[in-house]
Each structure stands twice: as structure tokens, then as C-alpha cells.
Amino acid sequence: MILAAGVSSRMKKPDNTITADEKLIHEADTISKSMIGVGKDNRPFMDYLLFNITEAGYREVLFIINEKDEFIKKYYKLENENDKKLGNLNLSFTVQSIPEGRSKPMGTADAVFQGMMSRPDWSGGKFTVCNSDNLYSVNTLKLLLNSDKKNSMINYDLKGLRFTDDRHKKFAVISVSKNGYLRSIIEKPSEEEIEKLKEEMGYTGISMNIFKFDYDLMFPYFQNTPLTHGRDEKEIPTTINLMIKDHVDGMFTYKVCEHVPDMTSKKDLIETQKYLESEFNLDRPFLG
């Protein structure tokens, strides 16, 4: 399940310090950030994620998109059908509806729940959830696909992420037990919380929003996730924190130390370009 229903508000903010070419800036201002053309061949960022998903061994992808986004459906030829074959992948989509009185979707937990509601055939199994604006490696995607734990997630060591000091404060930090199970996810942590966890665990663990969920166990938690105070959205960390209160060993964490290209704002465009051109092997057969 790829979460692609956000409105890309941070990407669309004006930034006069960016020196990227006009086409790139235009796309950043007008289309979903996951569909911005990057890399050697100016392919949509989503293509690279789908390629890694295929390489990891997945065979089915459900996009969660917003009701105003026609670009993903048209690009992947999903506008007239709800199921499409792309290489070894079966693609489908669900529109995350926006409640009356709101201008944007109700958050990531709501997106997952609406996706689960659209796929009752997934009941009895497990599924991986990830962002559309992060390029997760084949290694991490495969770790979750092959996990035999009830629920699992990737625990990124901050040292491998290559983000600036001010940037990591925008990500959720995690607390992990000695046997690798999640104790809590803390969104927008304070410096004191970050330092305390670093002292306890010997490193700073970061969540980059990639998880594997047991459908039946998690369904009621996603269904009953409350709105987050201040943001007025339903968020995945809230759902998980509720679940682990009832199931102490309900979420296993796999520690990984590697970079995750992130497409949050215009500042990320140039770094993403550099990464794809230098570290992504485009000589391999691609999708499509």
C-alpha cells in the first residue's frame, strides 16, 4: 500500500534559493511530488519506488490517492479500470475521500483504513505500507516482505540518513526494547527526548513511515484512531502506539543504517537527482 493522497503542500511552497531547472520547479508546483520527473531519464519518482518494490519480490500494489489527483491514474493507465498490470506488478487504487468541511485528507492512518476497507480480500494476511515520496531500498522492502513477525517496521539509524541536524527533528523517533520490539513512536520530539533515547539505545532510531501490518489485528486500531491534537489528522504513529499498549510485543523493529531519499520540499529535488544519477543502477531493466 503506497500512501500518495497528500496534497504536497510543503513541496509547493515557493523557494527562491532553489537553482533547479524550470521544468522541475514547474512539476513541483503543479503535480504530486511522487510523480515529479527525476533521475537520468526524468522518470516519475514513483517509478523508482515501484522498481525497488518489484525487485524485493512484491507482486501487488495499491495506491491511496486523493480525489483531485488524476495524474497517477493517467500515468499508470488506471483511469478507466481499477486494476492494471505493470511488469510483474498488479496495480490498483483507492481514493481517500475527504470529509465534508475539510480541504484535505484526514491523515495517514485514515488513508490506511480506507485502503483496508477497499481490500477486504486482504483479511487473514499482511501488507506493507510506505510513503510515495521516499525511495526505500530493495533490502528494507524485502526485510518486511519476508518478516514472520505479527507486525514489523524499519528502525533507521539516524547516522545513515544523511540529513542535516535540523531536518531529523521533523521525523518521528522511536524507542525500542532490548529484544527489538517497539516501545513508542514520538512525533516532533524535543531535543531532550532525542538525547534521552540516544543515551538509552546508543543511537537515534528514526521512523520513515514504512511498516508491515497484520490486517485483522490492526483493523480495529485503524478504525478507531483518534484525531491528533493540534494537527487534526489521524496518524499512523497514533494507531501503532494504541496497539502496543494492548500488545507489548506487537511491533518488531529491524534496525537499518542507510540513506532514504526524501521528496518533501523543493530543497530535496537536487539531492534526489544526485542520488539517482550516482547510486541508482539504471542499466538494469526497468518497469514499463
What is the rounded distance in angstroms from the CA atom of residue 61 to the CA atom of residue 91?
5
Q: Is residue 253 part of a domain?
A: yes
Which range of residues forms the domain containing residue 8?
2-279
pLDDT over 90 at 112, yes or no: yes
For residue 167, the model assigns a pLDDT of: 66
What is the rounded distance in angstroms from the CA atom of residue 60 to the CA atom of residue 39?
25
Phi, psi for residue 153 in degrees, rounded to 5: -155, 165
Q: Is residue 288 part of a domain?
A: no
Q: Is residue 286 part of a domain?
A: no
Classify 68 in phi/psi space as left (phi over 0), alpha (psi -120 to 50) or beta.
alpha
What is the rounded distance in angstroms from the CA atom of residue 39 to the CA atom of residue 55?
18
Number of structural domains in the chain:
1
For residue 282, the model assigns a pLDDT of: 54
- Taking a C-beta distance cutoff of 8 angstroms, is the pair 225, 110 a contact? yes
Residue with the bigger pLDDT between 271 and 18: it is 271
Which of 21, 40, 22, 44 lies closest to 31 in space, CA to CA? 44
C-alpha cell at 208: 520513515
| DSSP strand pairing (182-186 vs 252-256) | unpaired
Longest dimension (CA), the chain: 54
pLDDT over 80 at 161, yes or no: yes
The single-letter code of the amino acid at 84 is K
pLDDT over 80 at 180, yes or no: yes
What confidence tens digit (pLDDT) does each residue in 215-258 have? Answer: 999 999 999 999 987 778 999 999 999 999 999 999 999 999 99
Alpha-carbon separation of residue 132 from 22, 64, 91 (angstroms): 23, 9, 14
Kindly give, in sequence order, each residue whose CB lies less than 8 Å from that of residue 14, ignoring residues fewer than 6 positions away: none
Q: Is 0.85 topped by the overall pTM?
A: yes
Q: Is residue 111 part of a domain?
A: yes
What CATH number corresponds to the domain at position 17? Answer: 3.90.550.10
Cα(first)–Cα(last) distance of the chain, in Å?
20
Q: Is residue 244 part of a domain?
A: yes
What confidence tens digit (pLDDT) does each residue in 60-98 have? Answer: 999 999 888 888 988 888 866 666 778 889 999 999 998
pLDDT over 90 at 157, yes or no: yes
What percent of the chain is predicted at pLDDT more than 70? 89
Cα 208-212-216 angle, rounded to 5 deg: 135
Query: Which of 7-16, 44-53, 146-155, 261-270 is modeled with the greatest confidence?
Result: 146-155
DSSP string spanning 6-42?
A: ---TTTTS--TT----HHHHHHHHHS-GGG-EETTTT
Q: Is residue 287 part of a domain?
A: no
Crossing angle of helices 236-246 and 108-118, rounded to 10° = 80
What is the rounded distance in angstroms from the CA atom of residue 224 to the CA atom of residue 241?
12
Q: Is residue 57 part of a domain?
A: yes
What is the rounded distance in angstroms from the CA atom of residue 282 to the CA atom of residue 38?
12
Crossing angle of helices 215-223 and 236-246, rounded to 10° = 120
Q: Is residue 83 part of a domain?
A: yes
